Structure 1
């Protein structure tokens, strides 16, 4: 009974004093704490707290698993979209390359066509210029010939007029008429 005379707050305040008596005693704080713990665990078991905690943890695990599955499916969908966009980008780049190649080929063909047309135009103009030069040359030659004939006729007229007398002129006229008659018939 000696232990009952010690105030209870001293037992709780001094663990060394609590451990000196018998273990199964209400004066032993270790026993009281052990008993309270067992009662607490018993209440938890009676209320099925571990199964509720397990159910809550399972629900949380299921929720996390569902979130992970959703994240995985979103990731796969994002990868699919990324692959699709990369494929479309490659296709667009290939199409742009084809367009550039076709544009270059068209530009080269147009440039070659323009060069050919310019060459043909220059050839036509040169031919026209040569024809004009030939025509001008022919006209100049004809003009020179006409002048030469005119000068020759004038010179011949002067020479004939100086050397010609009336008898000789009449003989030349008769001879010319006879030549013309022979050529006409």
Structure 2
């Protein structure tokens, strides 16, 4: 029998496969592939879990953002109400101030009128006294003149003051 190179290649292949089977290489490869598949599955599970946590965090932050926006709107509305109240209060205080100033001005005007009337009356009294004195001085003489003058001056001053 003549063995050619194909036969020896076939025998080498059989021996190689037997050696591989004897050393349990397919089992080790299967274990390695299973281990690798388990690692990949664990990484996928971890990635899925991280994705879910990220989605939860995103939802939490979106909820917090909405709450913050609502709180900001509430603060803004409260600030607007407070500003309106302060504006109204300032308007009322201004109106009260103007009313008080007008009342004080009217009182001052009335006081000035009263003072002017008193001054005119006093001037009229002084003028009347002077005229009466002049008339009495021309018509009366001596003791009568002095007594009438003093009596008239006293009466006029008593009535006008």
TM-score, with length taken from structure 2: 0.80
Tell which has more relative contact order, 1 or 2 (C-alpha 8 A, sep 6+). Answer: 2
List gaps (5 residues or longer) in structure 1: 1-23, 177-185
1:165 Cα shift? 5.9
1:63 Cα shift? 1.1
Distance (whole Å) between structure 2 residues aligned to residue 113 and residue 161 of structure 1:
70
Rg larger in structure = 1
List gaps (5 residues or longer) in structure 2: 152-161
Contact 1:44 1:50 in 2 (8 A): yes
Deviation digits for residues 41-73 of structure 1, max 9, x if unmatched? 122122222122112111110111011001100
Distance (whole Å) between structure 1 residues aligned to residue 122 and residue 72 of structure 2:
72
User: Among 135, 139, 143, which residue is 2:119 paired with?
Assistant: 143
Distance (whole Å) between structure 1 residues aligned to residue 74 and residue 5 of structure 2:
91
Contact 1:25 1:31 in 2 (8 A): no
SS of equivalent to 1:154 = helix
> Are 1:153 and 2:129 matched, yes or no?
yes
Distance (whole Å) between structure 2 residues aligned to residue 141 and residue 32 of structure 1:
152
Distance (whole Å) between structure 2 residues aligned to residue 160 and residue 58 of structure 1:
148
Distance (whole Å) between structure 2 residues aligned to residue 30 and residue 149 of structure 1:
163
Residue matched to 1:54: 30
TM-score, with length taken from structure 1: 0.70
Residue matched to 1:119: 95
Cα separation, partners in 2 of 1:25 and 1:64, compared to 1, 3 Å: farther
Distance (whole Å) between structure 2 residues aligned to residue 25 and residue 98 of structure 1:
101
Distance (whole Å) between structure 1 residues aligned to residue 103 and residue 34 of structure 2:
100
Structure number with the higher helix fraction is: 2
